[in-house]
Amino acid sequence: MNDISPPRKRRNAGRVTLNDVARQVGVSALTVSRFFNHPERVSQALRQRIGEAVSALGYVPNLMAGSLASARSRIVGMVIPNISGPIFADTIQAFSDTLARHGHQLLLASSYFSLEQEENAVRTFLGWSPAALVVTSHFHSESTEKILAEAEIPVVETWDYQPGRAPIQVGFLHYDVGVMAARHLLDKGYRRIAFVLNSAVGDFSALERRAGYGDTLQAAGLESWSFAPSAECVPFEAGKQAMESLMKEARPPDAIIFANDNLAAGGLLTARRMGLRVPDDCAVMGFGDYAFSGMLLPALSTIRPPARLIGEIAALRVLESLSVIPSTTPLQRLNRLECELVEREST
Amino acid sequence: MNDISPPRKRRNAGRVTLNDVARQVGVSALTVSRFFNHPERVSQALRQRIGEAVSALGYVPNLMAGSLASARSRIVGMVIPNISGPIFADTIQAFSDTLARHGHQLLLASSYFSLEQEENAVRTFLGWSPAALVVTSHFHSESTEKILAEAEIPVVETWDYQPGRAPIQVGFLHYDVGVMAARHLLDKGYRRIAFVLNSAVGDFSALERRAGYGDTLQAAGLESWSFAPSAECVPFEAGKQAMESLMKEARPPDAIIFANDNLAAGGLLTARRMGLRVPDDCAVMGFGDYAFSGMLLPALSTIRPPARLIGEIAALRVLESLSVIPSTTPLQRLNRLECELVEREST
DNA sequence: TTGTATGCGTTATCAG
DNA sequence: CTGATAACGCATACAA
């Protein structure tokens, strides 16, 4: 009697595997593996035949298995405050494209400026044994810092530049942006310059920009002051609120620096509705150079961050760290990029 | 003599594993596994102790190993034309957020409207044994169609609605958008209405919008004609080019429908520079309702697609298909959403 | 409610 | 240049 119950395959029975290809060609699975990872170590003849078998069978390498075995993946995790805002999308796009060009994939999560959400994302990503991790700014929770330090993979911080930290930095000094904005307005002759903070809580970078503004005004012997909109507001409304409130003061400002272009747009349109002339009655300055900024009336003066460049360079640094591409000698841990002053009609 | 050479650990020696946790607690690895996947099947007392051990040891589940063993992952791949354009970012954001709320991660790639790049992305994603795949529109290469059909995982098509196809659809009929735009202009009394195509090649959805416009005009006994900008142009420049060219014709249009708001913005500003009054000399209509559209002068009339909703519903359909959340009875394969006419000053 | 044995598909190690 | 074998860390089927 044939009592040997057939060794039932338990799970993923359908999938074409490395072994199937190997059997088809008549070589060992290992050779097929090499065909993908080190083609130069496989003889020309075999390469040809394996290539044919692969496409004939429609074999797709199981990256899970490969990553498990080699303890490294071609996934790079990125945590960024948001995707749909006008400012980070370019960074994500450039980052993703550069990564893809070199066979790596982007795992994406947004933090909404929340340190806690960032930590969650980092923790989850780590479960995927990512090849590298990219975060935004140098503001993290203590646990996140610890996790990143112990991760033993390349870590890149974007949209910021902070010498003295372990991770690779790709960005700029927000403090300098504040200085740049203040200097521009001082040069133009404005003297009562206010700063409007972001309504999004957790945007610590905006605080650094304000610090740059504050110090510059102080150095010029001028008074600095800032307005903090209600936290519930969407940025556009917050800008409106700021403009109305500031212009009602006993001694209103003759220029306002907004933490970003959304706020500035709200302020700009509100000023016009209030019958104020911009920039004659009050100059307006933003940050970000969003798509609409040049189309406003008057066109908004602002500071343009190198959003795409940040994404691209961050990706290159990651790939260099992984030795996927040759390192630009030496691997610079600090990549200071420049923001550009875009002077238009509102100042 | 003790000749037994120590079984040298070969690779990932440092990592804390399920076994480490199990040993610490004094249970089997399986119980710890259950702690994560089926907490309700673990006794209260053990749950407590395992939880403590997990955080004490800083254990992070290796999702690669888990996915390999179970042949399914918590990764969902999304291929979308672009990330940084103003129109898809909201969809990505909503999709990612909804996914994250239910413990799934987003693997993202952009196709730039290229069928080939889309196919590459899909192929690569499949190597990760994704839980599901989301693509944009119903336009794919034949191979992509085949791959998706054979993938045996939920597939969702977004930004489109095409009855009669296998994948779940979440979107709207672009044809209807063309009809809506044309009707709006006809209602307002315009009679010589032109259509400006997108400069991005591969944007087939824009062609469907034009078809809707064309049929509507024909039904009204009116002539329809369209302008195709040079393919190299960025959209804003293409809009400028279109406006200049169309208004130079012997019988210029009295209204123009642009394939999207970027083009429309270019056209609008150009019209003003040419000394034309909008909408008196020529009405302008866009598609997308980008962030700047309401801030233009005159404010742009346009059609607003449900970008966020598409992302959210696509995610929900994916999660339902995976039985991660209860299915809204029955699992509708077709999810027709509505676009909204946003009438402002330019029509 | 908990444990034992086994396999997921690939790559590292070491040998030829 | 090619191959046999043992991991990688976890989840499934089945048993207790």
Alpha helix locations (H) across chain A?
Answer: 18-25, 29-37, 44-57, 63-70, 89-101, 115-126, 142-150, 174-187, 204-219, 235-247, 261-273, 307-321
Integer Cα distance of B242 and B229 in angstroms: 6
Query: Given this model, what pLDDT does residue B16 score?
Result: 83
Which residue of B lies nearest to A308 if distances are taken between CA atoms?
A: B84
Whether residues B151 and B165 fall in one domain: yes
Whether residues B195 and B247 fall in one domain: yes
Query: Given this model, what pLDDT does residue A2 score?
Result: 34
Report strand pairing: A155-158 vs A193-196: unpaired
Whether residues A129 and A167 fall in one domain: yes
Tally the domains of chain A. 3
Q: Compute CA distances B296 → A225, B302, B345, whole Å.
A: 31, 12, 9
Domain's final residue, options B30, B61, B92: B61
Chain B contact present for A96, CB below 8 A? yes
Residue A252: give the domain boundaries. Answer: 174-304
In-domain check, residue B86: yes
Whether residues B224 and B293 fall in one domain: yes
CA of A258 to C1' of C6 (A): 63
The maximal CA–CA distance of chain B, rounded, in angstroms, is 104
Query: Given this model, what pLDDT does residue B37 score?
Result: 84
Contacts with A142 (C-beta within 8 Å, 6 or more apart), sequence order: none
Of A96, A97, A295, the CB nearest to B292: A295
Integer Cα distance of A120 and B101 in angstroms: 11
Of B63, B86, B124, the CB nearest to A105: B124
Determine, for residues B83 and A68 on separate chains, whether the beta-carbon distance falls below 8 Å.
no
- Identify the CATH number of the domain in which residue B47 sits: 1.10.260.40
Whether residues A210 and A250 fall in one domain: yes
Q: Measured from the CB, is B63 under 7 Å from any atom of strand C?
A: no
Of A60, A86, A124, the CB nearest to B123: A60
Chain A contact present for B269, CB below 8 A? yes
CA of B49 to C1' of D5 (A): 38
Query: Given this model, what pLDDT does residue A14 score?
Result: 63
Contacts with A330 (C-beta within 8 Å, 6 or more apart), sequence order: none
Interface of A with B in 202-261 (CB under 8 A): none
Chain B contact present for A57, CB below 8 A? no
Regions in chain A scoring below 70 on pLDDT: 1-14, 329-333
Q: What is the mean pLDDT of each run of 10 residues along chain B (347 residues)?
A: 37 72 87 87 86 86 87 91 91 96 92 94 90 94 91 92 89 97 98 95 92 98 95 90 96 97 95 94 97 89 97 94 79 82 97
Query: Given this model, what pLDDT does residue B2 score?
Result: 35
Integer Cα distance of B196 and B226 in angstroms: 6
Determine, for residues A107 and B107 on separate chains, whether the beta-carbon distance falls below 8 Å.
yes
Picking from B215, B347, B204, B220, the residue whose alpha carbon sits closest to that of residue B286 is B347
Which residue of B lies nearest to A269 if distances are taken between CA atoms?
A: B295
Q: Measured from the CB, is A9 under 7 Å from any atom of strand C?
A: yes
In-domain check, residue A66: no
Q: Which two tokens stand for residue A105?
A: 């994939």
Whether residues A196 and A274 fall in one domain: yes
